[in-house]
A and B are shown apart, each in its own frame.
Chain A
Amino acid sequence: MILGMIAGNAWVDGLVRMGVIGLLVPVGVIALTYLERKVIGRLQMRLGPMRVGPYGTLQGFADTIKLLTKEDVRPQTADRWTFELAPFVIVVPVLMALVTLPFTADIFVRNLTLGLFYIVAVSGLSIVGFVMAGWGSDNKYALIGGIRAAAQLISYEIPLVMAVLAVAMVGQTLNLANIVDNQSDVPYILYQPLAFIIFTVAGLAELYRQPFDIPVAESEVVGGPFVEYSGIRWSMFQMGEFVNLVLISILGSLIFLGGWNWPIGSGAPGIAQFVLMLVKTSAFILFFMWMRASMPRLRIDQLMSYCWQLLLPFAFLQIIINGLVLVYVWPDPVMAILSFPATGAALYLTYRAARASGVHYQPGFQGVGSVL
């Protein structure tokens, strides 16, 4: 009876669904923090947290209590409202994006017709929070970090949106559930590997994790926009980062890996859908953590030129390929035949640029900011 009442009223229904998300998110973030410390520890041949609880499982909760009870310090010269509101401006858009993200075919808050577009638009708002934190702290490292964050996030948003757009073009829809349904036979990663690679790299940059952690680089700008924050406000930044990690991972598994479908063929029952989503999303999350442990940080000019000279042209190439296939009604495998060699070319250029920036790198103005 209570369930019937909830389902009857759109407002109550929406609020209950949002409440569940709001409760699950902090718990998920605590679990992810523990997972990340364990994974990175193992990759670096350490044990990771071991002291609190069996195998350190309660470490995250202990850290949460510490962060919540810590003093919330605000520098005297900081711009009060800008400084205090910045964490909210980062966290709220990320949570707003969760509204339309389907976890399985049945578990979602609202299934919007323009879901994909909505997620892209709303998550772009977080950048304002970085700028506010950087400027409001009245700290030169925070300001440099904020400017770096704005430049990086705006630049990498473009290839990310282009890669997502390539998928939406072929699917002829912006509804995430429909995009998943379109992949019931073959997941889009096989037809559009180029878009997938671009999405993963740009997603990594949007998450400002290694090798793209330039805005928050510890050894350069000592934490960037977050340098003056402590206690609960700092943990809000942390929460925003981890929720964003989950968001990008779920989005990637929905639009490229076929979401809640079996790798080939559809019709997974309810619980299998959940397990499939969990496996696919975890693969993304673990990949991002793996990158963090094994890649060195890029320089800011390398970061910018990689985005504008390599990712963006290749994103356009994928869109042109898809456009040709759609206009001339070629069979879908043609997309794969054209996209795979392009992926190879993109990877080769990345490899060549990485080599050139190492041993053979000649300092000088000509070499700066060129990938090709």
Chain B
Amino acid sequence: MTYEEVIFYAVATLTVAGALGVVVSRNVVHSALFLIVALLAVAGIFVLLAAEFLAIVQVLIYGGAVTILILFAMMLTRVRDLPTAVDGPQKPVAVLAAGAFMVTSIVAVLSTEWPGQTDKINVISFNDIGEVLYRNWAMPFEIASLVLMVALIGAIILARGEEGE
């Protein structure tokens, strides 16, 4: 095995272990912490694919911000108030559905004819990403920002409404 393969399998194991931890863990805060592990390991996979910019964004947004807000929200509720068992009688059905989805995904990935050379990594510099995102596709980018903005304002209005103002 080459260095890259060793690192890939280590990172991939970490991703899968983290993802399983999210589902299997009985404590909701532990699930959130496992989610951080899984998301950071995905950043590792991005690094292996020479997509450094994407990896750092993954760490910044998912590792540093999103999961902390999830944790923040959960810590404000007391641990004892949270349901200890998050599974119910539908568990076998859920396992079946998840397994079916996984098999479908794997089959789809393996049977697709990917354009370009997949065994060679194309290194794309972050200058090119910026060029494409803010010049060629500036309009979709702005629309996405607008959607986020609307969601933020909506959240503020909902939060203020609860105070009875």
* Interface positions of A (Cβ within 8 A of B): 11, 79, 82, 112-114, 117-118, 120-122, 124-125, 127-128, 131-132, 134-135, 143, 146-147, 150-151, 154, 157, 174
Shortest 4 CB-CB distances between A and B: which pairs?
A: A124-B64, A121-B60, A121-B59, A121-B56
Please report the C-alpha to C-alpha distance between residue A174 and residue B56 in the assembled complex, in whole angstroms. 12
Q: Are A121 and B64 in contact (CB under 8 A)?
A: yes
B76 interface contact, C-beta 8 A: yes
Given A121-B56, A125-B59, A128-B36, check contact A135 B29 (CB 8 Å): yes
Taking the nearest CB of chain B, how far is it from the CB of A175, in angstroms? Answer: 11
> Which residues, 11 to 37 on B, are CB-close (under 8 Å) to A?
27, 29-30, 33, 36
Tell me the complex Cα distance, A11–B2, Å: 14
Q: How far is the CB of B130 from chain A (nearest CB, A)?
A: 11
Knowing that A128-B71, A150-B71 touch, tell me 17 more A-B residue pairs with CB under 8 angstroms.
Answer: A79-B29, A82-B29, A113-B125, A113-B126, A114-B52, A114-B56, A121-B57, A121-B64, A125-B40, A125-B59, A125-B63, A128-B63, A147-B75, A150-B72, A151-B72, A154-B65, A154-B68
CB distance from A15 to the nearest CB of B (A): 14
Question: Which residue on B lies nearest to A131, using beta carbons?
Answer: B71
B8 lies within 8 A of chain A by Cβ: no
Chain A residues in 8 Å Cβ range of B72: 131, 147, 150-151
Tell me if B53 is interfacial: C-beta within 8 Å of chain A. yes
**Assembled-state Cα–Cα distance A150/B33 (Å):** 15
Q: Among the listed B29, B76, B126, which residue makes an inter-chain contact with A174, where contact means beta carbons less than 8 Å apart?
A: B126
Nearest B-chain residue to A126, judged by Cβ: B64
Do B68 and A131 have beta carbons less than 8 Å apart?
yes
B contact residues around A132 at 8 Å (CB): 33
B53 pairs with A120, CB closer than 8 A:
no
Contacts of A112 in B (CB 8 A): 52
Shortest Cβ distance from A147 into B: residue:
B75
Q: Which of B3, B53, B68, B126 contacts A128 (CB 8 A)?
A: B68
Q: Are the C-beta atoms of B52 and A120 separated by less than 8 Å?
A: no
Interface residues, chain B, CB within 8 Å of chain A? 3, 27, 29-30, 33, 36, 40, 52-53, 56-57, 59-60, 63-65, 67-69, 71-72, 75-76, 125-126
Q: How far is the CB of A206 from chain B (nearest CB, A)?
A: 12
B64 & A114 in contact (Cβ 8 Å cutoff): no
23 contacts between A and B (CB under 8 A): A11-B3, A112-B52, A113-B126, A114-B52, A114-B56, A117-B56, A121-B57, A121-B59, A122-B59, A125-B40, A125-B59, A128-B33, A128-B36, A128-B63, A128-B68, A131-B71, A143-B75, A147-B72, A147-B76, A150-B71, A151-B72, A154-B68, A157-B64
| Residue in B closest to A81 when the chains form the complex, CB atoms | B30
Whole-angstrom CA separation of A131 from B71 in the bound complex: 8
Closest-by-CB residue of B relative to A130 is B68
Cα–Cα, bound, A120→B59 (Å): 10
- Cross-chain contact B64 with A127 (CB below 8 angstroms): yes
CB distance from A118 to the nearest CB of B (A): 6
Q: How far is the CA of A91 from the CA of B85 in the complex (A)?
A: 33
* Chain A min CB distance to B8 (Å): 16
Look across to chain A and name the residue whose beta carbon is closest to the beta carbon of B53. Answer: A114
Q: Is the CB of B126 within 8 A of A124?
A: no
Contact call B75/A146, Cβ cutoff below 8 A = yes
Bound-state CA distance A82–B71 (Å) is 13
Greatest chain B CB density within 10 A among A120, A132, A135 is at: A135
Whether A124 contacts B63 by the Cβ 8 Å rule is: yes
Query: Distance in Å from the Cβ of B103 to the closest Cβ of chain A?
Result: 33
A residues in contact with B63, CB < 8 Å: 121, 124-125, 128
Contact A134 B30 (CB under 8 A): no
Residue in B57, B64, B126 whose beta carbon sits within 8 Å of that of A125 in the complex: B64
Given A121-B60, A124-B60, is A135 in contact with B68 using a C-beta cutoff of 8 Å? no
Cβ contact within 8 Å between B29 and A124: no
Contact present for A120 and B60 (CB under 8 Å)? yes
User: Which listed residue (A128, A146, A147, A157) contacts B67, Cβ 8 A?
Assistant: A128
For the complex formed, measure the closest distance between the CB of B24 and the CB atoms of chain A, giving whole angstroms: 14
Contacting residues, chain B, for A147 (C-beta < 8 A): 72, 75-76
Cβ-defined contact, A150 with B68, below 8 A: yes
A132 to B76, CA, bound (A): 13
Complex Cα–Cα for A298 and B68 (A):
24
Contact B30 A124, beta carbon cutoff 8 Å:
no
Residues of A within 8 A of B68 (CB): 127-128, 131, 150, 154
A160 CB to nearest B CB, Å: 12
Q: How far is the CB of B69 from chain A (nearest CB, A)?
A: 8
A112 and chain B: residue at smallest CB distance: B52
- Which residues of B lie under 8 Å from residue A124 when comparing CB positions? 59-60, 63-65
Per the bound structure, the CA–CA distance linking A124 and B59 in Å amounts to 8
Q: With the chains together, A128 CA to B64 CA distance in Å? A: 7
Residues of A within 8 A of B56 (CB): 114, 117-118, 121
**Min CB gap A261→B, angstroms:** 25
Residue contact B126 to A82, C-beta cutoff 8 Å: no
